[in-house]
Chains A and B, each alone.
Chain A
Amino acid sequence: MTYLVPLVVLLPLLGAAAALILGKQPGVQRIVTIGVLSIVVAVSGVLLVVVDSSGPLVMEVGGWAAPFGIVLVVDRLAALMLVISAIVLLAVLVFSVGQGLADGDNETPVSIYHPTYLILATGVFTAFVAGDLFNLYVGFEILLVASYVLITLGGTEPRIRAGVTYIVVSLVSSLLFLASIAMIYGALGTVNIAQISLRMNDLPVDVQIILHVMLLVAFGIKAAVFPLSFWLPDSYPTAPAPVTAVFAGLLTKVGVYAIIRAETVIFPGPELNPALMVLALLTMVIGVLGAVAQADIKRLLSFTLVSHIGYMILGVALGTAAGTSAAIFYIVHHIVVQTTLFLAAGLIERQGGSTSINKLGGLLAASPVIAVLFFVPALNLGGIPPFSGFIGKLALFEASAQQGTVLAHILIGAGALVSLLTLYALMRVWNMAFWRPADDVEGYESTLLKNVSEAPNAAATQPTRTTPRIMTAVTAAMVVVSLALTVFAGPLFAVSSRAGENLEGPSYYIDIVFPGGRDD
């Protein structure tokens, strides 16, 4: 079954080429793009089943054995991430096709959107299957360059301004990542992740910590870990709704995925775990405080995104199998729920003509469907039982309690507080945008709105456009997926537990890359 592994990278890449050639025929282009991503969903689904039942798959590219050739590794963690990101990518693509059809892009097609989107998918999938640090870098670069194009799509002034921040920050992080690869190669003479892990123990501890910190800074910028998260709320909200949704769902999680690999395979030691726990605490608290102060729904969601990255970092920083399992479950839950919320925000923008809660009102009466589609994932993100957000947080808190240090207990308290504040921020959106009558909007006075700051360039758009059925249907489908995560939380948590156990110590990963023994 190893031949399935390169397909997840090859299919979107070839699809992107085909979509680029078909730029003049938007209809065919849409079919190709959706078709390719549907096949990838199927392939990654098969990969997850195969990997979970009969062990990990390792593909030696070009037939060169591990330390010499490049390996693509799909273990349980990678397979799980592949499945969930393929589903989210497909859903958001269909959403944007629906939006494009409604807005009449037959006359003014942005013909590069579909190829770029597939290249973004290629980058994400490459990063997940990379068994080689430099291949991981290339995966990051592929997805970043595609994201540069998507975030400045249309080339309007606010997007160029937001794009410059995003691009320059990402460039710096890429250079840092490349420099750390250079230093790791200089110290160890290899870029194969398994071999790096084997040789790392021979290095002096202080050199290990330097390399560790450099890699963590590079990944931390991508994952938006405080204090490296400043760029995210500035750049994400200006992009088109589907682009923001897919960025929020996937790109930061690729960074978190890289952090998990770094913490479990490359640097399994506990030296930096307390520091990471403090960073997780700050990310959670400062992110959610930013969310509480926002009036614009997209900016508010961007801040909650930063805040919830903290939960995942907490799980990784615990350094136990239980913590890693909980973090993996939380990533899966968060990818789905955060994407759904951004899609719902896109629907709100079309229906209400704005994403500012100061200007919205009466949406519950105007569009009860959108109200439900926003309310369910909002409760889920806030961690209300029985939703998957509650299960994920409970698992994280349980793992922290097992670890038992004072810091871990402080983080449990902070995590509970942060989920309450998330709920507060989202329920304020609910109260203002959906619950209050539309004719109350002018001159409305409320303590809930006293201290919120309006987003820059928050000009109202025309609310007269109808919401296409495809967009609503896709958002509904994503809500159903998030509910499925709750219903099937048992099997899913079992898979992520097994993935977490595989990541306890680097030996499992090393053994699958070097099946014939570790002749270093």
Chain B
Amino acid sequence: MSVSIVLVVVMALLYACAVYLMLERSMTRVLLGFLLAGNATNLLILIMAGEAGLAPIVGNGVAAEDMADPLPQALILTAIVITFAVSAFLMALIYRSWRLARADDVEDDADDVAMRAGMARLLGEQAAASSDTEFGTRAQAAVSSARDLEEQDGPAAAESADSGWTEPETGRAR
């Protein structure tokens, strides 16, 4: 099976960019990374189909060896549809997150923050000063400033943090 080197290089580049983007804090970048990774995977399937060929329609006088393999193309179509649906959902999620916190950053896990504070108490005050993520306190700062905005907007924001089972949408007109 011979493969096009260009496709392989493009795929590798897409994967590399995708991994870089998905490791970012911003959820929009995670979404972009996911789109790139999805496309890279589709390219991988295309590469696995082997050489390009003619349309695989029987009865056109085309020999079977000259036809392209149609199955991977069907797989890619399915994968594209799934990627499309999932990215639409992710965008809705990002928008919702922005409405709630005015930031699309992935927050530090609350449990990790608590554990870090506990470790700092054990090890003394100096550990508390240095943050152990490369993002430092940036993400936290973004969120806490968002709180201020919400408070200016109105009192409804704080209530929505409660995790009730069937609560109405807090759709406030802005």
Contact = CB atoms under 8 A, between A and B. Distances in A.
- Kindly state the interface size class of chain B when it binds its partner: 35 or more
In terms of DSSP, what is the predominant structure of the interface of chain A? helix
A160 B96 CA distance: 8
Contacts of B34: 168, 171, 175
A157 B78 contact: no
A141 to B, nearest CB: 5
Contacts of B67: none
Contact of A108 (B111, B163, B166): B166
B9 interface: no
Interface stretch (A35-43, A280-288, A456-464): A456-464
Given A134-B75, A155-B169, A456-B109, 11 more contacts: A138-B78, A149-B89, A155-B96, A156-B164, A157-B160, A158-B161, A161-B110, A163-B93, A168-B34, A185-B71, A186-B1
Contacts of B90: 167
B56 interface: no
Residue from the set A159, A182, A191 with the largest chain B CB neighbour count within 10 Å: A182
Contacts of A138: 78, 82
Contacts of A174: 82
Interface string A124-165: 000000000010001001000100110010111111110111
Contacts of B45: 178, 181-182, 185
Contact of A234 (B109, B115, B161): B109
Interface of B: 1, 22, 27, 30, 34, 37-38, 41, 44-45, 47-48, 71-72, 75, 78-79, 82, 85-86, 89-90, 93, 96-97, 100-101, 106-107, 109-111, 113-115, 118, 160-169
- Kindly state the interface size class of chain A when it binds its partner: 35 or more
A156 B114 contact: no
A240 interface: yes
Contacts of A141: 82
A99 B89 contact: no
A238 interface: yes
A99 B164 CA distance: 11
Contact of B86 (A145, A238, A454): A145
Contact of A240 (B85, B111, B165): B165
A385 interface: no
